[in-house]
A and B are shown apart, each in its own frame.
Chain A
Amino acid sequence: MVFCLVAVAAFAVLGIFSAKYRAYAAEAWNCAFKTVTLRKCDTGFDEKMKAKIVAKLLSYSPPVARFVHEQFVAISWILVASTIVSGVMVAQAAYNTYAYGNCNGPDADEACVFNPAGSGFSACGVSTTGKYLRYPPSLEGHSLGAKGALAVVEFGCFTCPYTKKAEPVVKQMLAEYGNRIYYVFKSFPASHQYDWDSAEAAECAAEQNRYWDYHDAIFAGQADVRANGTQALAAIARELGMDAVAFEQCLLSDRYLKAVNATYEEGLVSKIYGTPTFFVGNQTFVGYKSYDVLKNAVEQELGK
C-alpha cells in the first residue's frame, strides 16, 4: 500500500515518456488515493510491482531480491520519506534560485541544475554580504565603451578562477557591442590571499597607462599570481615592458589600498556575494555565464 505513494510520483514522471507508465501511474494513483484516504488498496498494484521488481532482481542478485522481498514495506516507507524530503529540498532550491539566482543558497558555489543560465553556479563565494543585490552606487572604475551607453558593471576578482573564466565572454561582448555599452570593471578582492595585491598592482599599472594590458595579463598568468603573489605581479610588469622599479615601488607603498578598498566597499553596498557579478542594466548575474546569457541580457536592455 505504501509503495503506491512512491509509485504514483515515479510513474507520473515516467509517464511523460511512455504510455505504459501512464497506465501504471493511473493504477498507482488509484491505489495511492485509497491509501491516503485510509482505505484498503485492493487493486493488487503494489503486489504486482513488488513481484516484478523482485523477479528482475532475482536474475542479478538473489540476496538483494530476498532482502527487497522481505523488507518491501520498510523500503517503501524509506522511499516515501525520501520523496518527501527531496520534495522539500527541491522547493527550497527553487526558492533559492528565485531569491539568489542559485539553488544552493546565497553563499554556495556548487553546481545547480535549476540555473538555466549556464553551467551552474560558478563564482568565488563571499560569505560576509547580505542577501539581495543592489545596483552599484557609482559607475566609477576602469571602463571601456562609451560613457552614457548601457552600463555593464562587473565586480571581479583578479585571483578568482571564475572571473578569469568570464574574461573571454566580456571580450566577446565588447567586440560585438563596442560603444553601445559602457563596461566598468570594479575590483572586488574576494577569494585569495593575493587578491588585494593584484587589485593594487592593476592600479599601479594604470599609473603607467597600462591598466587593461595588465588586467588581461594577470588573468592570463593567474596561476602564477595565485602561487607567487607580488613576485609574479612584478614579473608581469617586467614582461609588459613597464617601468619595473616604479611599479614595484608603487606596489610596496600600498598607495592604492584606499582606492581598491573603495570599490570593495561599493561591492559590499551592492551586496555582492560572489565574483564575478554582472549588472547589465537592471539585470544581475552572479558567477560565470555563457556569452549567450549576457548577450541576451544586453539585447533586452538595449531594446528597452
Chain B
Amino acid sequence: MISEKIREDFPIFKKRKFIYFDNACTTLKPQCVIDEVVRYYSEYSGCAGRSMHRIGKETEAAFEKSRAEIADFVGAKKEEVVFTKNCSEALNLVARSLDFSKKRGVVTSVLEHHSAFLPFQLLADAGKIKLDVVYPDKESWLFDAASWTEKIGRDVRLVVLHHTNNTFGTQPPLREIIGAAHDAGALVLLDAAQGVPHSETDFKKTGADFMAFSGHKMLGPTGIGCLVARSALLEEMPPFLVGGETIASVSLEKTVFAKPPHKFEAGIQNYAGAIGLAEACRYLRKQGMREVERHEREMFAYALAKTEGIPHLDVYGTHDASKRSGIFLFNVRGVSPHQVAIMADSMKGICMRSGVFCAEPGMKFLGIPDGACRASFYLYNTKQEIDVFAETLAAVAKTLGR
C-alpha cells in the first residue's frame, strides 16, 4: 500500500496547491531525483568515456552504473540499454537504423502515439516499407489478438505496438501478438512510454526485441529516454546519429564503430538525466511497481465510482479497472474538452490534459475527433483529490452539459 506520506518526497507539493492529473504527459519529480541531478552538476560534472582524470572517471562510473540500474529495472542487460533523449528518439532510432531491405512489412495500430506512428509513416511515404494498420473493436476499444495475427505474415519485418495505450490506458494482448510476430519471423518494437512507468515491465519477459520509454514519465528528468534492444540486433544495426563516442577508430578511409550501446550514443550524453533516471528507478522500486500499478487501478476505479451518475458525462474505454492503468478519459457533452480542462484548472487547480493526446488517428477512429479530457493518475495521487475532481466535474457537467 502506497502511503500518502510519499507526497512529502515531492517538493512541488510544498510550494503550490494543485491537483496534478497529467501524469501520462509527464510526472512530478521527487527530491531524491532532483538531488542526484544537482549532485552531478555540483560535484562531478565531467565527461564519460573519454577523459582519464578523476572527474571524468567519476562521471563515467556514475553514468554506467545508472545504465546498469535502469537495465535491471526493466529486466534487461546493461549493454542492451541505449540512452536517447526521449522515447520518441528511441522509436526513431529503430525506424532509421533497422534494415528493411529484405522484408518491408511493418504492422502497427491505429491507436499508436504519433511518436511511434510517424517514423514509420515517413518510411512508408518514401517507399521503404509497407505499413499495415490494425484496428481495435469499435465498441470495446480493445484489441483482439486475431486482428494482429492475421496481418503478421512472413513479409513482416517489424510489429510496432504500444505496451499501454496513452489515451485510455488499456493493453493489447501483448503475449499473443509478440508470439505471432516471432512465429512469422518478425521483430517487435514495444512503445513502453506508458508501460514502464506504471507497471512491472520486464523486457525479457515481454519477449519484445525493442522497447522504448522515457525518463520524465516515471519521475525522472526530462531529456532522457532509453531504447532497450536485444544485443544481437544492436550489433547488426548501423548507428542512427554518429559523432564522438560512437566509434572505435576513425581514418579517412574507414571508420569502425564502437560496440553497442555506445555506438548509438553520439556526442556528450545527458549524464545528469541518466543519473536522475536511475534514482527514479530506485525510488519506484522502493515503492514497488506492483503497488504503483495497484494504486493507479484503485484510483481509476474510485474515479469511476465517484463520477457515476454525473449527467452528460461520457467515460471512454472499458470500465473494467483491471484492464486499465490509471488513465480516465472522458468528455462532458456540450462542452469542449479544452474548456472543461481550463475550467477544472480555474475552479480547483486541477491540471489535466485535453485534446487528442498525440494520437489523432486513434481519436478519429474512436469517434472523438475533437478530442477528450484525460485525467491520468500516479502514485502520489489521492482519493481526496479525486473527490474534488468528481465534484468539479459534476458542477461543470450538471450546469453546462447537454
Contact = CB atoms under 8 A, between A and B. Distances in A.
B400 A55 contact: no
Contacts of A48: 338, 342
Contact of A54 (B338, B341, B343, B398): B343
B336 interface: yes
A47 B338 CA distance: 8
Contact of B343 (A44, A58, A62, A66): A58
Interface in B238-269: none
A134 interface: no
A66 B399 CA distance: 6
A59 B347 contact: yes
Contacts of A47: 336, 338-339, 342
Contacts, number: 43
A232 interface: no
Contacts of A63: 399
Contacts of A51: 338-343, 346
A65 B399 contact: yes
B230 to A, nearest CB: 44
> Chain A's interface: helix, strand, loop or mixed, by majority?
helix
A50 interface: yes
Interface in A28-46: 44
B154 to A, nearest CB: 46
Nearest to A61: B399
A52 B342 contact: yes
B335 interface: yes
Interface in B325-352: 335-336, 338-343, 346-347
B395 A58 contact: yes
A69 interface: yes
Interface centre among A52, A55, A56 (most CB of B within 10 A): A55
A230 B336 CA distance: 76
Interface residues of A, number: 16
Contacts of B340: 51
Interface string B100-113: 00000000000000
A69 B395 contact: no
B347 A58 contact: yes
B62 interface: no
A69 B398 CA distance: 13
B191 to A, nearest CB: 28
A63 B399 CA distance: 7
Contacts of A69: 335, 399-400
A44 B342 CA distance: 11
Given A65-B399, A65-B400, A69-B400, A56 B346 contact: yes
Given A51-B346, A52-B346, A58 B396 contact: yes
Contact of B339 (A54, A56, A62, A66): A54
B355 to A, nearest CB: 10
B30 to A, nearest CB: 31
A56 B396 CA distance: 11
Contacts of A59: 347
Nearest to B340: A51
Contact of A58 (B336, B338, B341, B399): B399
B342 A62 contact: no
Nearest to A70: B400
A191 to B, nearest CB: 55
Contacts of B346: 51-52, 55-56
Interface in B376-402: 395-396, 398-400
Contacts of B336: 47
B350 to A, nearest CB: 11
B342 A55 contact: yes
A62 B400 CA distance: 8
B390 to A, nearest CB: 15
A94 to B, nearest CB: 38
Contact of B338 (A44, A55, A66): A44
Interface of A: 44, 47-48, 50-52, 54-56, 58-59, 62-63, 65-66, 69
24 contacts: A44-B338, A47-B338, A47-B339, A47-B342, A48-B342, A50-B339, A51-B338, A51-B340, A51-B341, A51-B346, A52-B342, A52-B343, A52-B346, A54-B343, A55-B342, A56-B346, A58-B343, A58-B395, A59-B347, A62-B395, A62-B398, A63-B399, A65-B399, A66-B400
Interface of B: 335-336, 338-343, 346-347, 395-396, 398-400
Given A47-B342, A51-B339, A51-B341, 19 more contacts: A47-B336, A47-B338, A47-B339, A48-B338, A51-B340, A51-B342, A52-B343, A52-B346, A54-B343, A55-B343, A55-B346, A58-B343, A58-B347, A59-B347, A62-B398, A63-B399, A65-B399, A69-B399, A69-B400
